[in-house]
Amino acid sequence: MADPRLLQILVLSSLALYGAFGLELEIRPFHAAVTVVVALLTEAAGRRLRGEAFDPRSPLITALSLTLLLRTASPGVAALGALFAVGSKFLIRARGGHVFNPANFALVALLLTTDRAWVSSGQWGHVALLSLLLVGAGQLVIQRAQRGDVTWTFLATWSALLLARAAWLGDPLAIPWHQLQNGALLVFAFFMISDPRTTPRSRAGRSVFAVAVAVAGFVLVYGHYEPNGLLFALAGTAPLVPLLDRWLPGPVYLWNRTTETHHATHPARFSPAAPGLR
Amino acid sequence: MRRILPVSLLLLLAFAESAAAFCGFYVAKADTKLWNQASQVVLVRDGDRTVLTMANDFKGDPKEFAVVIPVPTFLEREQIHVGEKAVIDHLDAYTSPRLVEYFDGDPCRQMVMRMNKMAAPAAEGLAAGARDDRARALGVTIEASYTVGEYDILILSAEESAGLETWLLESGYKLPKGAGPVLGSYLKQGMRFFVAKVNLEEQAKGGYQTLRPLQVAYESKKFMLPIRLGTLNAEGAQELFVYTLTRSGRVETTNYRTVKLPTGMDLPVATKERFGEFYKAMFGEQTRRENGEVVFMEYAWDMNWCDPCAADPLSEEELRKLGVFWVADGEPGPSTGIMPRPGPKSGARDVFVTRLHVRYDRDHFPEDLRFQETGDRSNFQGRYVLRHAWNGTSTCSQADAYRRTLPERFDKEAQTLASLTGWDISDIRRWSGVPEPAEPGEPQTAVPWWKRLWNEK
ipTM for the predicted complex: 0.85
Residues of chain B neighbouring A72 (CB-CB closer than 8 A): 375
Most confidently predicted of A93-97, B18-22, B193-197, B320-324: B320-324
Q: If you count DSSP H runs as helices and E runs as strands, how many of each does chain A have, helices first?
A: 12, 4
Residue B293: inside a domain: yes
In a domain, B163, yes or no: yes
Residue B214: in which H helix or E strand, if any?
strand B214-219
In this prediction, residue B342 carries a pLDDT of: 46
CA A173 to chain centre: 29
The residue that leads in pLDDT, B99 or B252, is: B252
How many domains does one find in chain B? Answer: 2
Q: How far apart are CA B357 and CA B295, in angstroms?
A: 6
Q: What is the pLDDT of residue B50?
A: 94
Average pLDDT over chain A reads 84
B315 and B243 both lie in a single domain:
yes
Is the CB of residue A57 less than 8 Å from the CB of residue A6? yes
| A130 within a domain of the structure (yes/no) | yes
Do the Cβ atoms of A179 and B372 come within 8 Å?
A: no
Query: Residue A277 CB: number of other CB atoms within 10 A?
Result: 10
Q: What is the DSSP letter of B35?
A: B
SS3 B98: strand
Residue B65 has pLDDT above 50, yes or no: yes
Residue A277 in domain: no
Indicate whether B268 and B121 sit together in one domain. Answer: yes
Please check whether residue A99 lies inside any domain of the structure: yes
Together in a domain, B280 and B419? no
Q: Phi and psi for B303 in degrees, rounded to 5?
A: -65, -5
A130 touches chain B (CB under 8 A): no
The top-scoring range by mean pLDDT among A89-98, A223-232, B299-308 is: A223-232
A46, A72 contact by CB (below 8 A)? no
Rounded to whole angstroms, how far apart are CA atoms B355 and B260? 10
A46 lies within 8 A of chain B by CB: no
In a domain, B21, yes or no: yes
Residue B13 confidence (pLDDT) above 50: no
Helices (H), B114-212: 128-137, 161-170, 179-188, 200-206
pLDDT in tens, B160-191: 888 888 888 888 776 777 888 999 999 999 89
Q: How far is B58 from chain A (nearest CA, A)?
A: 31
Crossing angle for the helix pair A57-69 and A102-113, to the nearest 10 degrees: 40
Q: Tell me which of B356, B385, B414 is where a domain ends.
A: B385
Q: Per-residue pLDDT for B234 more than 80?
A: no
Residue B73 belongs to what domain range? 13-385
What dihedral do alpha carbons A194, A230, A28, A67 form, nearest 10°?
-20
Spatial distance between the Cα atoms of B93 and B300, rounded to a whole number of angstroms: 13
Q: Hey, are the CB atoms on B255 and A225 less than 8 Å from each other? A: no
Question: Residue A111 domain-assigned?
Answer: yes
CATH number of the structural domain spanning residue A148: 1.10.3430
Q: Report the number of distinct structural domains present in chain A.
A: 1
Q: Which of B224, B254, B377 sits opposite A122 (nearest CB)?
A: B254
Asked if B377 and B414 sit in the same domain, the reply is: no
Query: What average pLDDT does range B437-441 have in this prediction?
Result: 57
Q: Which among A23, A71, A125 is the nearest to B374, CB-wise? A: A71
Beta carbons within 10 angstroms of residue A146's beta carbon: 18
Q: Is residue A183 part of a domain?
A: yes
Q: Which among B221, B258, B377 has CB closest to A123?
A: B258
Residue A275 lies inside a defined structural domain of this protein: no
Say whether the peptide bond before residue B308 is cis (omega within 30 degrees of 0). Answer: yes
Say whether both B419 and B364 belong to one domain: no
Between B94-108, B125-139, B280-294, B341-355, the lowest mean confidence (pLDDT) is in B94-108
Check whether residue B318 and residue B413 sit in a common domain. Answer: no
Q: Which domain holds residue A191?
A: 4-265
Q: Of the given ranges (A139-148, B229-238, B299-308, B418-427), which has the lowest mean pLDDT?
A: A139-148
The confidence score (pLDDT) of residue A141 equals 63
Residues B426, B296: one domain?
Answer: no
Task: Report the candidate in B430, B426, B432 with the shortest Cα–Cα distance to residue B447.
Answer: B426
Answer yes or no: do B75 and B217 share one domain: yes
Report the relative pairing of strands A117-119 and B352-360 from DSSP bridges: unpaired
Distance CA B365, CA B358 (A): 10
User: If you ran DSSP here, which 8-state letter would residue B153 be given?
Assistant: E
- Residues B334, B417 within the same domain: no
Q: Which residue of B has its CA nearest to A220?
A: B221
In A127-263, beta strands by DSSP E: none
Q: How confident is the model at residue A253 (pLDDT cuts 50, 70, 90)?
A: confident
Same domain, B329 and B447: no
Looking at residue B368, its amino acid is: D
pLDDT tens digit string along A99-157?
Answer: 999 999 999 999 999 989 999 888 887 665 666 666 676 676 656 557 788 988 999 99
Tell me the mean pLDDT in the region B121-133.
55
Report the length, in residues, of chain A.
Answer: 278
Minimal CA–CA distance to A110: which of A206, A27, A35? Answer: A35
Contacts of A271 (CB under 8 A, 6+ apart): A252
Give, to the nearest 10 degrees, the angle between helix A57-69 and helix A29-49. 140
Are B447 and B360 part of one and the same domain?
no
Dihedral class, residue A150 (left if φ above 0, else alpha if ψ from -120 to 50, else beta): alpha
SS3 category, B365:
coil
Same domain, B62 and B160: yes
Residue B6's pLDDT is what?
33
Say if residues B225 and B343 touch (Cβ distance below 8 Å). no
- Kindly list the strands in the beta sheet with B266-267, ordered across the sheet, starting from the edge strand earlier in the chain: B98-102, B383-387, B266-267
Rounded to the nearest angstrom, the minimum Cα separation between A218 and chain B is 14
Mean residue pLDDT of chain B comes to 77
CB contact under 8 A, A174 and B366: yes
Residue B175, C-beta contacts closer than 8 angstroms, at least 6 positions apart:
B4, B6, B165, B168, B169
Q: Cα-flanking dihedrals φ and ψ of residue A172, to 5°? A: -70, 155
Residue B58 and residue B368: Cα distance in Å, rounded? 24
Q: How far is the C-alpha of A188 from the C-alpha of A184, rounded, in Å? A: 6
Average pLDDT over residues A62-69: 93
Query: Touching check for A24 and chain B: CB below 8 Å?
Result: yes
Q: Note whether residue B6 is domain-resident.
A: no
User: Residue B15: pLDDT above 50?
Assistant: no
Number of inter-chain CB pairs under 8 A, A vs B: 84
Instruction: Tell me which amino acid residue A69 is.
Output: L
